[in-house]
Amino acid sequence: MPALIESNLLSWVIFLPLLGALVLLALPRPTDEADSHGHPAAQGGAEGRRHGVGAGLVRGFALAVALVTFVLSLALLVRFDPRRSGFQFVEGPYRWVEQYAIHYHLGVDGTSLLLILLTTFTTVLAVLYSFNVRHRVKEFMVFLLVLESAMTGVFCALDLVLFYIFWEAVLIPMYFLIGIWGHENRIYAAIKFFLYTFAGSVLMLVGIVYIYAHTGSFSLVDLANPASGAHLSLQRMDARTLMLLYGAFALAFMIKVPMFPFHTWLPDAHVEAPTAGSVILAGIMLKMGVYGFLRFCLPLFPEQASQSAEVFLALSVIGIVYGAIVAAVQPDMKKLVAYSSVSHLGFVMLGIFSFTKLGITGAILQSLNHGVSTGMLFFLVGMMYDRRHTRAIAQFGGLKRTVPVLAAFFLIAMLSSVALPLTNGFVGEFTILQGSYLAFGMRHTALAATGMVLSAVYMLWLFQRVFTGPATREENRTLPDLSLREQWVLAPLVVMIFWFGCYVATWTRYLDAPVDGLVAHMQDRGGATVLERSAALPEAHGIAAMRAPGRAHAGEAL
């Protein structure tokens, strides 16, 4: 690998898709083909013909850029040392806006590394699936690549302002993906998505500015390091101010996850978004909220996070059960999968606020697993919509005879979603429930576990209505099975489902150092709530037992 790339590997992973998007913008617009969503054809087809630029070239170039970015992220994985605590591949801090101490500062630990891999992996599949887009192909691919750059930047930024810029930049391409290539109510869904998420982000920005005004630093590393002056200045603030700052960050992340009751934007966005948009929204964008809690709320505000744990426990359990019940009564397949995300991400938040190594490790694993399983379900629903132009469950039936390959892939995705043993879903949710039991006891854990039962109910019922029984409708008897391209989109997801389910140690070794550091930080600085909970647990499983000897503090390990 050239030295220029190796020494700035994170920057290349972040900005290569953006560079590819700029190259695409320089190309003339190719001819529009028949639009799969029935939108009016855009002008400019003559320009594409005149300059000889075809949609195939645009698609192929976008896929090549996404593949190269994925390969570079694999280079990060190969060079990453999971035994080391602290950030690796650090770039900076380089002075950016010197007057306000804003720096270009990047770095990754095991948590962010795996989320970057999920981002680049999912983007490759989203681009490949989107070869069926016929309307304004160039612009569609540009927005996908810009979105990849912004999401990757979120997981790498170690400066609060840099993080916020990437965080907000994600909204713009997703807004246009929903608003231009979405379905009938796409404008409403796009505006609702933007307003909900932007409102939370503004509160976070206020918190960031306030922190700088009182600490003189935007550096996440300094603010989380107990030995730094910035951290001491932060902790010298009065308890009420710290709780308000914590609330500003937490609300932004709760909306993005989304947690109950801030979830109402999600079903509309999913239902109206194009398939690739839904996959990226569920697979990656929602994980930005989870990442925010792990990277900012717990390290910077450990005592406030501890004090709010019971609230988050209640909201998580409500979200698990509520999301599952509402999913079960949905007549639309895409909306069913959307509400299932509310339930699954309730498990993730339950694991985080257990403050145990098992719970937090399970939360990160479940974030990755949800991206794989739910992403696959959205791909499959999109493939069915491409064939029938409806997502109404009642319009299907008997498809296992008509499209057996599609049915087989759907069965695997469904079993993963219901957490069948040997699939990825089981590993994540079972680990979270273990952590929840250690932290909260049997009653709350049993209530959360009902979400797994309800998940099996609505997913099995969905499969039964869509794929079993006779094909009573004529339209369902002549559907084409999956094309080779569609199978190439789904096959890597199947591999990941069973890889996570059968040999999760491949991935958990990257999480040991950051999770140990976070748990130790919560024990040391999380206040009486965490300490009392730790003391009440069995010695072999309590938070104290999870602190690995010699681990660094959160400013290094996170």
| Alpha carbon 43 to chain centroid, angstroms | 35
Q: Which secondary structure element, helix H or strand E, spans residue 454, and what is its range?
A: helix 442-467
User: Environment class of residue 197 by beta-carbon count within 10 Å: exposed (0-12), middle (13-18) or buried (19+)?
Assistant: buried
Please report where in the chains the tokens 């647990």 appear, as a residue: 537
Measured distance CA(451)–CA(429) in Å, rounded: 10
The reply to whether 492 falls in a domain is yes
The reply to whether 451 falls in a domain is yes
Q: Which long-range contacts (CB under 8 A, 24 or more apart) does 491-496 make?
A: 492/121, 492/125, 493/125, 493/372, 493/373, 493/375, 493/376, 493/379, 493/413, 494/376, 494/409, 494/412, 496/121, 496/372, 496/424
> What 3-state class would DSSP assign to 29?
coil
| Alpha carbon 229 to chain centroid, angstroms | 33
Per-residue model confidence (pLDDT) at position 522: 86
The reply to whether 437 falls in a domain is yes
Say which amino acid occupies 201. Answer: S
Do the beta carbons of residue 200 and residue 206 sit within 8 Å? no
The reply to whether 391 falls in a domain is yes
Count CA atoms closer than 13 A to 56's CA, side-chain side. Answer: 2
The C-alpha angle 413, 269, 323, rounded to 5 degrees, equals 55
> What 3-state class would DSSP assign to 218?
coil
Q: Give the residue from 480, 458, 488 showing the smallest Cα distance to 388.
A: 480
The reply to whether 70 falls in a domain is no
The reply to whether 401 falls in a domain is yes
pTM tops 0.95, yes or no: no
Per-residue model confidence (pLDDT) at position 524: 79
How are the residues of the chain apportioned to helix, strand and coil, as percentages rounded to the nearest 5?
Answer: 75, 5, 20
Say which amino acid occupies 187. Answer: I
**Rounded to the nearest 5°, which phi and psi values hold at 413?**
-65, -40
Which residues, in sequence order, are CB contacts of 39 under 8 Å at separation 6+?
135, 180, 181
Measured distance CA(185)–CA(264) in Å, rounded: 15
Which residues, in sequence order, are CB contacts of 113 under 8 Å at separation 6+?
76, 77, 80, 510
**pLDDT tens per residue, the chain (558 residues)?**
667 777 789 999 999 999 999 999 988 777 666 544 444 333 333 333 333 458 888 899 999 999 999 999 999 999 999 988 889 999 988 888 878 888 999 999 999 999 999 999 999 999 999 998 888 899 999 999 999 999 999 999 999 999 999 999 999 999 999 999 988 889 999 999 999 889 889 999 999 999 999 998 899 999 988 888 888 898 889 999 999 999 999 999 999 999 999 988 998 998 899 999 999 999 999 999 999 999 999 999 999 999 999 999 999 999 999 999 999 999 999 999 999 999 999 999 999 999 999 999 999 999 999 999 999 999 999 999 999 888 999 999 889 889 999 999 999 999 999 999 999 989 999 999 999 998 888 888 898 899 889 999 999 999 999 998 887 888 888 889 999 999 999 999 999 999 999 999 999 999 999 999 999 888 877 654 554 554 445 433 433 333 333 444 444 444
Per-residue model confidence (pLDDT) at position 362: 94
Q: Which long-range contacts (CB under 8 A, 24 or more apart) does 78-84 make?
A: 79/9, 80/108, 80/110, 80/113, 80/510, 82/110, 82/509, 82/510, 82/512, 82/513, 83/513, 84/513
Q: Give the residue from 361, 368, 511 showing the smallest Cα distance to 434.
A: 361
Measured distance CA(167)–CA(437) in Å, rounded: 34
Cα 347 to Cα 341, 342, 450, 481: the distances in Å are: 10, 9, 11, 35
Cα 424 to Cα 4, 370, 439, 498: the distances in Å are: 37, 9, 23, 6
Q: Into how many domains does the chain fold?
A: 1
Is the four-CA dihedral 84, 87, 89, 92 of positive or negative sign? negative
> What 3-state class would DSSP assign to 310?
helix
User: What one-character-per-residue DSSP string does 342-389 give?
Assistant: HHHHHHHHHHHTTTSHHHHHHHHHHHHHHHHHHHHHHHHHHHHHHHHS
Do the beta carbons of residue 76 and residue 13 sit within 8 Å? yes
Do the beta carbons of residue 178 and residue 197 sit within 8 Å? no
User: Which ranges of 257-297 would DSSP assign to H, the alpha helix?
Assistant: 265-272, 275-280, 286-292
The reply to whether 183 falls in a domain is no
Measured distance CA(252)–CA(200) in Å, rounded: 4
Q: Give the residue from 419, 163, 440 showing the smallest Cα distance to 291.
A: 163
Give, to the nearest 10 degrees, the angle between helix 110-129 and helix 55-79.
160
First to last CA, the chain: 28
The reply to whether 364 falls in a domain is yes
Containing structural domain, residue 487: 308-510
Measured distance CA(263)–CA(333) in Å, rounded: 18
Per-residue model confidence (pLDDT) at position 407: 94
- Determine how many CB atoms are found less than 10 A away from the CB of residue 20: 24
Residue count (the chain):
558
Q: Give the residue from 249, 251, 269, 270 showing the smallest Cα distance to 261.
A: 251
